[in-house]
Amino acid sequence: MMNKVTLILGGARSGKSTYALKLADKYKEVAFVATCQALDKEMEDRIELHKRARPKHWQSFEEPKDVDLLLKKIPDIFNCIVIDCLTLLVSNLLLSGSNQKEVEDKVKKILSVLKNKKAHVIIVSNEVGLGIVPEHKLAREFRDIAGRVNQLVARQADEVWFLAAGIPLKIKN
């Protein structure tokens, strides 16, 4: 497969990452791009669990903000690239002072770089718009930007999956 983009959406603990790992497991050369930053002990523990779930022969790259620049540097030896997760990237950019346009522009740059990759790209992102309206301004801004970013990626993706209770539902083919 060449230049295929798969987006995997779902809520917290819906099985998104597990499904992404399952899809990527059939490839020999996998690059795993992690966007999470360990800001506390709980996040350190979560990151460690995610690392242990990945096959040892995969190459991991950690990049909280400049995923577009990292993707340019990742060599074409990889036939699959997993980006986990887009929502954390949005959060990292927002917390570092980026506005909606800057976040969307960053995601557009990522999509532009991906057009030149030969690998199957699997992008994981949270669907955060299914719950109540958040009480705080920053949380509403995050929810809105994450929703817009998911739409941007879904439009470009070849296929989109939605996970609920560990069950993958194909919503775009």
Supply the pLDDT for residue 147: 97
Three-state secondary-structure class, residue 160? strand
Confidence check: pLDDT of 110 > 90? yes
| Pairing state between β 5-10 and 59-62 | unpaired
For residue 1, pLDDT over 70 is answered with no
Whether the predicted pLDDT of 104 surpasses 60? yes
pLDDT of 127-168, one tens digit each?
Answer: 998 988 999 999 999 999 999 999 999 999 999 999 999 999
Res 49: pLDDT: 80
pLDDT in tens, 79-88: 999 999 999 9
User: Which pLDDT tens digit goes with each residue over 20-57?
Assistant: 999 999 999 999 999 987 778 888 888 788 788 788 89
- What value does the mean pLDDT take over residues 102-110? 98
Identify the architecture of domain 5-172 in CATH. Answer: 3-Layer(aba) Sandwich (3.40)
Structure confidence at residue 45 (pLDDT)? 84
Give residue limits of the domains in the chain: 5-172
pTM: 0.93
pLDDT of residue 2: 52
Q: Which residues does the annotation mark as catalytic? A: 50
